[in-house]
Chains A and B, each alone.
Chain A
Amino acid sequence: MINKLKSKDLLGTKDLSPEEILLILDTAESMKEISSRDIKKVPALRGKTIINLFYESSTRTRTSFEIAGKRLSADVVNISVSTSSVVKGETLKDTAKNLEAMNPDAVVIRHSSSGAPDFISKLLRCSVINAGDGAHEHPTQALLDLFTIREKKKEFKGLKVSIIGDIAHSRVARSNIYAMNKMGMNVTVSGPSTLIPVDIEKMGVKVFTDVKKAIEGADVIMMLRIQLERQEKGLFPSIREYSRLFGLNAEKLKNAKEDVIIMHPGPINRGVEISADVADGKYSLILDQVTNGVAVRMAVLHLLTGGV
């Protein structure tokens, strides 16, 4: 059994081996207990500095990384780009080099451009963790999704997962597809054909344009946020139509398996891709995902910056 990750960085699930994924999930399982204590803190990363560098808005992920770092006793610094030198025109490269000059142990970056984390990881000696880059990857989200699935289903092999929604713009979908394939799950994607990339089958997934077929027999249904900010481009006729055809509601769920679990990376558009009663219903694990996110990020931070 391996005891550390190969790379100094976590840029995507594409580069992780199945053993590395299991190491992160197993470590996260141990970390989860810490968040249930009265004193939710261990000294493992005392004296380590973690910088959250977020070029895109975020509630869950940024807070989750911050709490994860703090529960391990690291010092966490948040840089909100709107109040930083970026608005004065500083380039990503210069920002990264200047942060490095202050000797952090990890930089957690979210950026609207795919490849930004990869770019700075080559400039910096410290660990770089991708917290979402463009439509590329969001590895910690996929890892927390896997963690949540394993908690309920115990095993990955042979599970049928349906990812439904805007696949084309979704870094969550990409990271999940890579990771789920590695762990032996069967992934199906579904959504309006304008939001399904051509050649997606090459990633090893099946495509259903009929969402009912995607729901039937699925062990896991993962709904994606419909990105309303992209609606102007006319990728689908109307939100109402989208909701009617692809939104998950109690009616469509009648075709699902008895023990199906429903996930969503958040933030949810209630009544659009998921109806309120389903989001809050008994199959929904949306808030478990958030809880598990802290444990998974603690595991990643510890594996990358702990010890040495």
Chain B
Amino acid sequence: MNTRVMNADEINRAITRIAHEVLEKNRGAHDIIIVGIRTRGVFIADRLAVKIKEIEGEAIPVGIIDITLYRDDIKASPSKHIVKKTEIPFSISDKKVILVDDVLYTGRSIRAAIDGLIDFGRPANIQLAVLIDRGHRELPIRADFVGKNIPTSHDESIKVMLKEEDGVDRVIVEKGDDK
């Protein structure tokens, strides 16, 4: 049984709100850079950058991080095994990095992404923006900006679908682990 929990409008509104929150917390777009985590975090990062440009008129650099080489759970999910490119063609030193992912769950991906980012320099700070926070953290990590909190059980899975990758904008909760 699947339940749709967000449609395209709701996703769009959530990203718009996060853009405002990022600007409010950082008092503008100065020194901000955005880094999306592959795969779907990248598209949310791009959309967030577009929103911030609309609001503030300032173009924000957007990078991509692939965390495959930093993961601690490759054994558990071999299908995510293919190494994709990391693209951060600008300095992150002394910048405020907004790290973006689609779903925050155990926190292990975020740990891997933070380790990866630190290899590129010493940012002023790292803030975390996620579209969905589904709970069940296994590491002391929390998001600074959340599109929607969706309390879940372990046997449910959250599927974030985005136009760029899946042809449609939608978030659904799937009962039972059929992956």
Contacts and interface: CB of A to CB of B under 8 A. Distances in A.
Nearest to A40: B119
Interface in A15-47: 23, 26-27, 29-31, 33-34, 37-39, 41-44
Contacts of A302: 69, 83
Nearest to A72: B69
A198 interface: no
A89 interface: no
Contact of B119 (A4, A30, A41): A41
Contacts of B83: 27, 30-31, 299, 302
B106 interface: no
Contacts, number: 53
A228 interface: no
Interface string B9-23: 000000000000000
A1 B70 CA distance: 22
A84 to B, nearest CB: 32
A23 B115 CA distance: 26
Interface in B63-122: 66, 68-70, 74-75, 78-79, 81-87, 115-116, 119-121
A1 B84 CA distance: 14
B70 A42 contact: yes
A306 to B, nearest CB: 7
Nearest to A27: B83
Interface in A109-160: none
A307 interface: yes
Interface of A is mostly: loop
Instruction: Report which residue of B79, B83, B86, B87 has the largest number of chain A beta carbons within 10 angstroms of its beta carbon.
Output: B83
B81 A30 contact: no
B75 A308 contact: yes
B82 A307 contact: no
A42 B113 CA distance: 12
Contacts of B121: 38
Interface in A158-190: none
Contacts of B78: 3-4, 307-308
Given A3-B79, A30-B84, 12 more contacts: A1-B82, A4-B81, A26-B82, A33-B86, A38-B121, A42-B69, A42-B70, A42-B119, A43-B69, A302-B69, A306-B74, A308-B75
Interface of A: 1, 3-4, 23, 26-27, 29-31, 33-34, 37-39, 41-44, 72, 299, 302, 306-308
Interface of B: 66, 68-70, 74-75, 78-79, 81-87, 115-116, 119-121
